[in-house]
Structure 1
Amino acid sequence: MRPSMLLALLLAMPMPVPPAAAQSAVDIPIPDIPYTKFVLKNGLTVLVHEDHKSPVVAVNTWYHVGSKNEKPGKTGFAHLFEHLMFSGSANFDKTFLSALEGIGASDLNGTTNKDRTNYFETVPASMLDYALFAESDRMGHLLGALDQKKLDLQRGVVQNEKRQRENQPYGVVEQIVTGNTWPANHPYSWTTIGAMEDLDAASMKDVTDWFRGNYGPGNVVLVLAGDLTPAQAREKVEKYYGDIPPGPPVARQRAWIAKRSGTHRGSVQDRVPQTRIYRVWNVPGADTPEEALLDLAAHVLGGSKTSRLYQRLVVKEQLATSAFSSDDSSEIAGQFGVNLTARPGADAARMERIADEELRVLMKTGPREDELRRAKTAILAQYARVVERVGGFGGKSDMLARCMTFTADPDCYKTYLKRIQAATPAMVKQAMLAWLGDGDYVLQVDPFPAGLAPTLTTLDRSKGPPPGHPEKLHLPPMQSAQLSNGLKVVLAERHAAPVVNLSMMIDAGFASDSHALPGLASLTLRMLEEGTRTRSSLQIGTELEALGASFGAATNLDGAFVNMNVLAPTLPRALGLYAELVLDPSFPQADFERLQRDRIAAIAREKTVPRAMALRVLPGLLYGKDHAYGLPLSGTGTEAAVARMTRADLVRYHQAWFKPGNATLLVVGDTSMAALKPLLEKAFAGWRQGAAPSKNVAQVAQPDKTVIYLIDRPGALQSDIVGAQLAPPRNTPDAVALNLLNDVFGGTFSSRLNMKLREDKHWSYGAGSSLVAARGQRILFSGSPVQTDQTAPALRELVREYADIASARPITQLELKAAQDNETLGLPGAFETIAQLSNGYATILQYGLPEDYYDTYTDKVLGLGAAALNALAARTMLPKQQLWIVVGDMRKVEADVRGLGLGEVRKIDADGNLLP
């Protein structure tokens, strides 16, 4: 269909009219993040932001060096150095992640992209000196501890990370798109992770030269945000950073958009269940006028469920299971992309053709005023929520650091948001015509056929600062009330940001699924937003965007959750929509059929991802397939069961389980019970009482012997090894001790499993263990993706680690202290945002924990000794009764795994069925 004909058709179609409340624009002010700026004599730029709501400080360090500063033949250096910076420095010769975990750091990591390398952690205020000492030491004294052993170890870790990425479905895409969209000598023409051969060739001289040339304080922005004053910050920064030499001047790249002409196509086959099409244009980068306009264009075209691509391809034509667009802005250029995932069996060429039609119609007419208003509201609302967090991705320190690094103006986000506010349909149209009318690259991925000067003073670094101390929590108290229909309401007030989080907690979950229809609970919850008694799916999405609100429904083993995050000024307007979404879903037949097909496709995708493959079959093997918990851990069910479902099944499920007496409404944020309760009485007046069904979560026995299950994934670049057993429920008296035990075993970076497989053997990018929360017996499982040729040795080491922690190698006082520090020192940073608070209170309510559970958690943790943990390990960890699942290329690993003689070996398919 020609664009002009499509436009005529669209204009002839009646457009849904949102409720009147959503028509008016929401007045969302541009956030202000006050800061104090100073520059040390060595060139280090420092920004300080005060936020005293929680006793934590975010430390955010941005080095203005990324993969674009590399040269062909020496790619991957920036990312490799990100890893090396975690491996210890001359006066802080410790594994950085382990050491910072040990002082309670949250939002702790480092990342590298094309333009910068950043390191960030949010630490208890009492631990700020420790963090600054560590950060400054690796900035100024890294090379004193760098040796060939560390280089070889981290080189192996990075190469395993590369293998792990490429072992995922669609993992080949990044390399192909990068190489085909930028000129050969462009700084963005190689991936950040680099080439294997370049990593292999990296010498000690290469990496030391790279460090000396790029990591001096004159090339760094440091942001401190949180519970401190500018005077305190300046004193500490001068103390720890002042004597570091500035480093040489660093060359800066100018904008190089590399706009292309014509259409270029590529295709590749991968082990994926669905055809996916990527379409990419080179466009202007960050902090340009065009960025804001193209961001708005991306939102209107494919940024939400109300977008043109989603409505046309997913809802109306039902050719795709997902369709979205984005504008990815980097420092010297950007890329605008469209991503289309075809429904299995659908005509991918027609899907692509219709997406192009939608793009061209939008370029011809520009967005409608209502579309543009919703896109603006969505972007402004996202930034309004930034003020909740001091650290991590997208927090206040991150915003200031990015702006200062790339524009020398910490307030550059305000310029961006003013451009968003000022944009008109004509401006968006012009930007699209200028940049998206020509020069695209299309990649189709198909499934394989079925088959400055230093300060003169110096710091004595022979010993670090004294350690800080755990900060006890004093969370806002939970207030309780009951509506006239019996619905329990729990409110926790916090007024630091104009945000309110609503969570309707239903006592249901995967355990409420019948054995005949696994996946019914999660599909019912997924369909709540597809239509109500008075609103269509498009009207719901339109109204949410107009209110600056977000909505989501989720399920876990024991519960269902209907969540809405709203801005406080829009709460009264939003509650009517929220109540209707909870109480009056219409489950439209056409949308049910579409989501039914989407769910079947999603299950097929899960059965191609190594870890997901293991976790789908694990519960059935451990609990038994007839147990309430014996369903795939994703909750999606099985293809056969989903195919059998009807709309009536969803209606019956909702009517049976959604009862006010079977629910609790948790509200957290900027409101009060006096203001809230009348609004809730009105919104939920129509919800009638009634009895809900009961669930039967039976006790089961542990495995009586070691059994190893093998799942073949031909061509896999890695093997994923999962070990599992049963553990006591979430509310067991041993719950706190179990958390500590898991920390020592595999729950932290410094755990035994990760240290063995990543840091010692460097066979894996990362290994760990987790406890799955449940009211009944929980799953304790370990997950270890390892390189294929080390599958059997890795499994042997894992078995040894289980035996060691059970009895052979008891937990030491040092390990206990590290786990205690990890559990207590990071608590303040875990309750910074409204969403984090809501999750914490939801845990208390769902599992029947004491109201002061988190306020008293620190004392409980510090009261445990090594003897208690070792006794718990002896009766909980079962090395001779482990269930193991190995997902990998069985042609390469099966014989070696069998040769270990660890126990009975059984081959199963991706549904857990035994194979000959």
Structure 2
Amino acid sequence: MQFKPLLTASALALALGTGAPAFAQAPAANVAASTADAAPAELSTLVDQVDIPYEKFTLENGLDVIVHTDRKAPIVAVAVWYNVGSKDEPKGKSGFAHLFEHLMFNGSENAPEDYFQYLQEMGATDYNGTTNFDRTNYFQTVPTPALERALWLESDRMGYLLGAVTQNKLDNQRGVVQNEKRQGDNQPGGLVFYEIIKALFPAPHPYDHTPIGSMADLDSASMEDVRNWFRDKYGPNNATVVLAGDVSADEARPLVEKYFGPIARGPVNEPAQAEVTELTEDVRTVMRDQVAAVSIDKYWTAPGITDRELTALTVGAQILGGLSSSRLDNTLVRDEQLAVSVSAGNYAWQRVGILNVSATARPDVDEADVERRLDELVAEFIAEGPTEDEVRRAATSTVAGTIRGLEQVGGFGGKAVTLASGEVLADDPSFYARQFEILATLTPGEVQAAMQRWMTRPSFTLVLEPGERDGSYEEAAGVAEAAGDGDPAEEVTVTKVRPAPPIDSVAELDFPEVQHTTLANGMALHYAQRDAIPATYVTLSFDAGSTADPADKRGLEGLALGLFEEGTTTMSSREIAETSERLGANISLGGGADRSSFTLSALSANLVPSLELLSDIVRNPAFAQSEIDRVRAQRITGVEQELRTPSAIAARTISPLIYGAESPYAGPDTGTVASLSAITREDITGFKDRWIRPDNGAVFVVSDRPLAEIEAALNGVLGDWQAPAVAKGTKSFDAAPAAPAESRIVLVNRPNSPQSYIYGGQLTSVDPRGETYVDFLNANNALGGNFLARLNMNLRETKGWSYGVRGAPLTNENAVAYTVRAPVQADRTGDALAELIRETGEFLDTRGVTEAELTRIVTAEIGELPGQFETSGAILGAMQTNAMYGRPDDYYERVADRYRAQTAESLDAAARAAIDPDRFVWVIVGDASVVEPQLEQLGLAVERVEMAGTE
């Protein structure tokens, strides 16, 4: 289950759910057009394309059911939303809605095992549950043949849960949630959200506590609380079921009635009313934490999602600090260079919201100057209001961003979320359409009026400074030892026998046909057609990546890629951002260790001008020295923040220990302060000339437009691009890898850490192109690769010492490492590492893959294939992976037969050939005063190092 305590989504995105509507196709793009004469599609045209038709019916017991049909793939998203969240918790029971969400995954009367087992048996993808202030939801996307099984499973925990809830389960999940809280609190700035809520919504306001709750309240949760919460909050008349995908209302209704209809109605939760509070005067708080630079955040209370001004406030925040071309970006980051980053957002829940503007100061700038300019810019914006162009660009970016997520039926942001959030929070499944109607006609005056109304009230300012964290962590007191497994209280009581329906068939993946051709300049073009949405995805992939960095210039590739969008020979960085926003285009740069890529996500109606923009960025970067200095400062600040973040500290420490310090894979990919400081403009231009060139790259496209149109458009913008005279870059992977004779521990001291971050790893001999690679992957699915794997089930579900543990291969083109990552509570670090060593050793020696694990894993891998490739982005990524490893275009259709041929013996052989349990390097990032004494029991050599300040 996932809980995100920080503010991470705009109010409009929350309202829309980035849902996946049906579309009316836009007219074909004029492939002969240029940027100058191909005007972007009208906003009203884009808005008119968005539609999510649905049918709604209500069962006699009050359960609301919404069905949207989308036949593009043999999958159905199943979402169950309960009208209850943390704002509905009584005093002294904070965190209980979220704790109960965890319990809902621990088995019901007729499905008593962990629910992830049943989800994997169905071949489910995109499954999880979340809790926020206003609602609790559970969701999964399943192959069509498994829909009836999914409805049986969801209805069993809605109607028949309590007989399976035991004291052991409650105590275990209490521990898991408390470790989830520790994990969030342990991050730099992890305590900030508590201060925001306390300042803006003081008790006894319903929003006066975070959904994660307090340690003391979690300790106090009792079985009686569980029973009462279930009876009072989880009745069918307090829930909404949404089905989106390969199903019609006529097909769905008898199944929903069969499984949910007999469940008795219960009380209806009336969501707590909550006023939008107003501070009587400005409030200011200064906090310190392990952060690299000072950040200044200002917060104002705002109305909830159903307020008429929601869209205007969201657009205003985008213009102020959300867009790449925002006013804060242009002034504080680009022009005056007082800040390394800025942001602004409107974060709204059902009853209340928060408006926020933020700036992170350059380390060499007086924070008072940054705050003064931040205040001045906010005041100017409120006084002047936005321009018509700013409003249109913000609106177009919002619509385009929504359309980019429109293929997905489920998950965190698909069609099911859109319809369910509208129904539960706004009493209207079509709430997204109401917001779009406002968006299409929004005026600058409306935006200015909303900002004037809400951002001229008293504000809460929070300054977060580098330094030793103030105060101490709240820690759990612990609970009494739970009953043993033989205790009658731990037995499941079945009040009504409900056999699981069979899954009679398997949905097969239909991977789109991949076509290949060559552009006029010799670049290979790999193309697949998907017409679910009117969008085109284009990746220019170059054989570079961070492994192209010279050993003394780590971070060069990342710094160079970060500069391509910061100005061309004809456009400034501001003009690039504004053009992209007008087009509704998104260009992202990255690629990883082995490839450097430029990926364009374009509305097909704006394809040609979007390609023109992409071409200009790739071919004509200016690399102005002023931009180099600015972006370098940002990346150095990022590196310094990594050196304070547990997971990043562990990764930077372990990589050279796994690969060998001289290996191109040793990193750090983002560089060091010293290496970034040493990079010159000549290094950057040299990187472009050697690596970002047509004879070193290929083009990958997924589009609703036919190949002939795509090829003509690409030739129009790239056909005359030729390689420079200098030689192509070369890489060397000849450096000797690290090969420890025996396992050892490196302890990185990070004082005052409530959790320790354990990261183990070793280099393997696995070949990602080899026949046995998928055997290795599925062997790991038994050991560490998913929720049900042994490492996670032990430390999370049995011991309750961690929020989540994973073992996973890090697969690169020329090296495959095996890693284990486990954030664990500090006082159990030694015990947890002992368990990781024991589990791994036994798995590779005497307790290999069982027949039950083999059946579950193979069934899940085959069943998940249609859901894994639901979106164009997933297809685009698969095409690039296939090309890198020399796989056939239909690899993912063939792999199902490989899964079917696997045996426990073949998986064991692959794992044992790859992993040596006695050659792990274990890096632990934690408070050495707490952790080091615990490590004596392990009998391994321990090297203690202090956490670096800078490098």
Q: TM over 0.5: same fold? A: yes
Match for residue 423 of structure 2 among 388, 404, 414: 404
**Offset of residue 459 of structure 1:** 12
Asked whether the equivalents of residues 88 and 138 of structure 1 are also in contact (C-alpha less than 8 Å), the reply is yes
Cα 1:565–1:653 change in 2 (3 A) is: same
Aligned pairs (5 A) from 1:365-764? 365-448=384-467, 461-632=497-668, 635-689=669-723, 691-698=727-734, 700=737, 702-727=739-764, 728-764=766-802
**Offset of residue 407 of structure 1:** 2.2
Alpha-carbon separation, structure 2, partners of 1:340 and 1:19 = 35
| Superimposed CA distance per residue, residues 554-584 of structure 1 (whole angstroms, 9 cap, x where no aligned partner) | 0311111101100111001211111111111
Asked whether the equivalents of residues 485 and 689 of structure 1 are also in contact (C-alpha less than 8 Å), the reply is no
The aligned counterpart of 1:168 is: 187
Match for residue 191 of structure 1 among 206, 210, 216: 210
User: Alignment partner of 1:74: what SS?
Assistant: coil
Residue 940 (structure 2) pairs with residue 894 (structure 1): no
Alpha-carbon separation, structure 1, partners of 2:351 and 2:240 = 19
Alpha-carbon separation, structure 1, partners of 2:720 and 2:373 = 43
User: Alignment partner of 1:198: what SS?
Assistant: helix
Asked whether the equivalents of residues 143 and 864 of structure 2 are also in contact (C-alpha less than 8 Å), the reply is yes
User: Alignment partner of 1:266: what SS?
Assistant: strand
Cα 1:323–1:95 change in 2 (3 A) is: same
Worse-matched range after superposition: 458-467 or 171-180: 458-467
User: Alignment partner of 1:184: what SS?
Assistant: coil
Worse-matched range after superposition: 771-780 or 882-891: 771-780
Asked whether the equivalents of residues 382 and 451 of structure 2 are also in contact (C-alpha less than 8 Å), the reply is yes
**Offset of residue 21 of structure 1:** 5.1
The aligned counterpart of 2:46 is: 28
Alpha-carbon separation, structure 2, partners of 1:254 and 1:789 = 41
| Superimposed CA distance per residue, residues 582-622 of structure 1 (whole angstroms, 9 cap, x where no aligned partner) | 11111121111011111111011111111111111222111
Asked whether the equivalents of residues 239 and 459 of structure 1 are also in contact (C-alpha less than 8 Å), the reply is no
**Offset of residue 219 of structure 1:** 0.7
**Offset of residue 23 of structure 1:** 7.4
**Offset of residue 397 of structure 1:** 0.8
Structure 1 counterpart of 2:46, one-letter code: I
Structure 2 counterpart of 1:131, one-letter code: A
User: Alignment partner of 1:387: what SS?
Assistant: coil
Alpha-carbon separation, structure 2, partners of 1:195 and 1:255 = 21
| Superimposed CA distance per residue, residues 88-147 of structure 1 (whole angstroms, 9 cap, x where no aligned partner) | 111111111232133221111100000000111101111111111111000011111111
Asked whether the equivalents of residues 163 and 495 of structure 2 are also in contact (C-alpha less than 8 Å), the reply is no
Alpha-carbon separation, structure 1, partners of 2:496 and 2:529 = 46
**Offset of residue 191 of structure 1:** 0.7
User: Alignment partner of 1:48: what SS?
Assistant: strand
Asked whether the equivalents of residues 422 and 430 of structure 2 are also in contact (C-alpha less than 8 Å), the reply is yes
Aligned pairs (5 A) from 1:86-165? 86-165=105-184
Alpha-carbon separation, structure 1, partners of 2:739 and 2:149 = 44
Aligned pairs (5 A) from 1:329-344? 329-344=348-363
Cα 1:715–1:487 change in 2 (3 A) is: same
Asked whether the equivalents of residues 153 and 762 of structure 1 are also in contact (C-alpha less than 8 Å), the reply is yes
Q: Which ranges in structure 2 are unaligned for 5 or more consecutive residues?
A: 1-34, 471-493
**Offset of residue 861 of structure 1:** 1.1
**Offset of residue 703 of structure 1:** 2.9
The aligned counterpart of 1:873 is: 911
Structure 1 counterpart of 2:755, one-letter code: Q
Cα 1:701–1:850 change in 2 (3 A) is: farther
Aligned pairs (5 A) from 1:234-253? 234-253=253-272
Asked whether the equivalents of residues 643 and 950 of structure 2 are also in contact (C-alpha less than 8 Å), the reply is no
The aligned counterpart of 1:273 is: 292
| Number of positions where the alignment pairs a residue of Structure 1 with one of Structure 2 | 888
Alpha-carbon separation, structure 1, partners of 2:188 and 2:809 = 26
The aligned counterpart of 1:13 is: none
Asked whether the equivalents of residues 262 and 440 of structure 1 are also in contact (C-alpha less than 8 Å), the reply is yes
Alpha-carbon separation, structure 1, partners of 2:723 and 2:524 = 12
Structure 2 counterpart of 1:772, one-letter code: L
Q: Which ranges in structure 1 are unaligned for 5 or more consecutive residues?
A: 1-17, 452-457
Asked whether the equivalents of residues 806 and 874 of structure 1 are also in contact (C-alpha less than 8 Å), the reply is yes
Asked whether the equivalents of residues 750 and 946 of structure 2 are also in contact (C-alpha less than 8 Å), the reply is no
| Superimposed CA distance per residue, residues 277-327 of structure 1 (whole angstroms, 9 cap, x where no aligned partner) | 221111111022110000010110001220011111111222222100000
Residue 233 (structure 2) pairs with residue 218 (structure 1): no
Structure 2 counterpart of 1:463, one-letter code: P
Match for residue 791 of structure 1 among 829, 832, 842: 829
Alpha-carbon separation, structure 2, partners of 1:363 and 1:144 = 57
Alpha-carbon separation, structure 2, partners of 1:19 and 1:357 = 36
| Superimposed CA distance per residue, residues 14-50 of structure 1 (whole angstroms, 9 cap, x where no aligned partner) | xxxx967567745312411011111000000000011
User: Alignment partner of 2:892: what SS?
Assistant: coil
Structure 2 counterpart of 1:37, one-letter code: K
User: Alignment partner of 2:46: what SS?
Assistant: coil
Q: CA RMSD in A?
A: 1.9
Cα 1:910–1:684 change in 2 (3 A) is: farther
Asked whether the equivalents of residues 563 and 623 of structure 2 are also in contact (C-alpha less than 8 Å), the reply is yes
**Offset of residue 257 of structure 1:** 1.2
| Superimposed CA distance per residue, residues 346-365 of structure 1 (whole angstroms, 9 cap, x where no aligned partner) | 21121111111111111111
The aligned counterpart of 1:828 is: 866
| Superimposed CA distance per residue, residues 234-261 of structure 1 (whole angstroms, 9 cap, x where no aligned partner) | 0110111000011113223345211333
Structure 2 length normalisation: TM-score?
0.91
Asked whether the equivalents of residues 809 and 818 of structure 2 are also in contact (C-alpha less than 8 Å), the reply is yes
**Offset of residue 222 of structure 1:** 0.5
Cα 1:23–1:399 change in 2 (3 A) is: closer
Alpha-carbon separation, structure 1, partners of 2:173 and 2:101 = 10
User: Alignment partner of 1:340: what SS?
Assistant: strand
Cα 1:718–1:22 change in 2 (3 A) is: farther
Alpha-carbon separation, structure 2, partners of 1:913 and 1:399 = 44
The aligned counterpart of 2:475 is: none
Asked whether the equivalents of residues 19 and 543 of structure 1 are also in contact (C-alpha less than 8 Å), the reply is no
Match for residue 377 of structure 2 among 346, 355, 358: 358
The aligned counterpart of 1:10 is: none
| Superimposed CA distance per residue, residues 620-645 of structure 1 (whole angstroms, 9 cap, x where no aligned partner) | 1111111111112xx20111100101
Alpha-carbon separation, structure 2, partners of 1:533 and 1:551 = 18
**Offset of residue 526 of structure 1:** 1.4
Structure 2 counterpart of 1:816, one-letter code: L
